[in-house]
Amino acid sequence: CLSRIACRVSFIMADGDEESEEDGEVSFKKPLELFEQKKIVRICAPMVRYSKLPFRTLVRRYGCDLAYTPMIVSDSFVKSVKARDMEFTTNAGDRPLIVQFAANNAKDFADAAEIVAPFSDGVDLNCGCPQRMKSLEVWVLSLGGIAIQESVLIPVVANGDIKTESDVINVHEKTGVGGVMAARGILNNPAMFAGYQSTPLQCVTDWVDVALSLGTPFTNFHHHLIYMLEKVTTKAGKN
């Protein structure tokens, strides 16, 4: 990893074309197609406990182009069916999707990637945690700091303190990156990529509908609701 900069690398699965509506599936663009065709790719960051299927479903309704799963520990994911069932859920509309793994050896990472390959569009290796890995070919580089897209030949994604759509545009203009990733900002306002300054009431209503339809555990549902309403609720109202 780069010194003093949180870094993650993504490996895009290039086999196959996007599903078409004629096949009865939701149409979507592969990640590299997004970077080729869009000026700015807007991305929901991997967030432990939070960037799960229900939340990914919500943010896709509000301008999110590409979403990541929470970080998954690759060795337990490979060895345990229970871990796979708990850590990775998706559906036909959850695309394009990048699955993030933590790994300290290439075999676990490769085996985990093979398991999720039919259901995702790429895998991501979290290099921000203290783990040692051999050198691998990189397709997308994500930096928690300033990066200049012109200095590398692969798409670069910036993240860190992205709270509004204005932040997205400003970072792109200053760095030339191909994508901008939001974490805390999109937790507070899942509609931020659609230009909203705070979570609109319709987004809250959509969250209730999504959570009910996908069977979201109450604790997870409640935590997201607290984040969304943080600016308009009192401390007592959050309990």
Within 10 A of 9 (CB to CB), how many other CB atoms are there?
A: 19
Which comes out higher in pLDDT, residue 20 or 75?
75
Q: 129 catalytic, yes or no?
A: yes
Of 82-86, 100-104, 174-178, 203-207, the range with the highest mean pLDDT is 203-207
Beta-strand relationship, 66-68 and 179-182: unpaired
Average pLDDT in the 57-70 region?
A: 97
Q: Where does the chain show beta strands of DSSP type E?
A: 7-12, 41-44, 66-68, 72-73, 97-102, 122-126, 140-143, 156-159, 179-182
Contact 121, 94 (CB under 8 A): no
The pLDDT tens digits for 158-195 are: 888 899 999 999 999 988 899 999 999 999 999 999 99
Instruction: Identify the helix (H) or strand (E) that includes residue 87.
Output: helix 81-87
- The residue count of the chain comes to 239
Q: CATH homologous superfamily of domain 6-12+29-128+142-234?
A: Aldolase class I (3.20.20.70)
Percentage with pLDDT > 70 across the chain: 75
Among 7, 127, 129, 203, the active-site one is 129
pLDDT at 6 over 50: no
Q: Tokens 């993504």, residue?
A: 10
Domain ranges of the chain: 6-12+29-128+142-234
Return all residues near 132 (Cβ < 8 A) that are at least 6 apart: 104
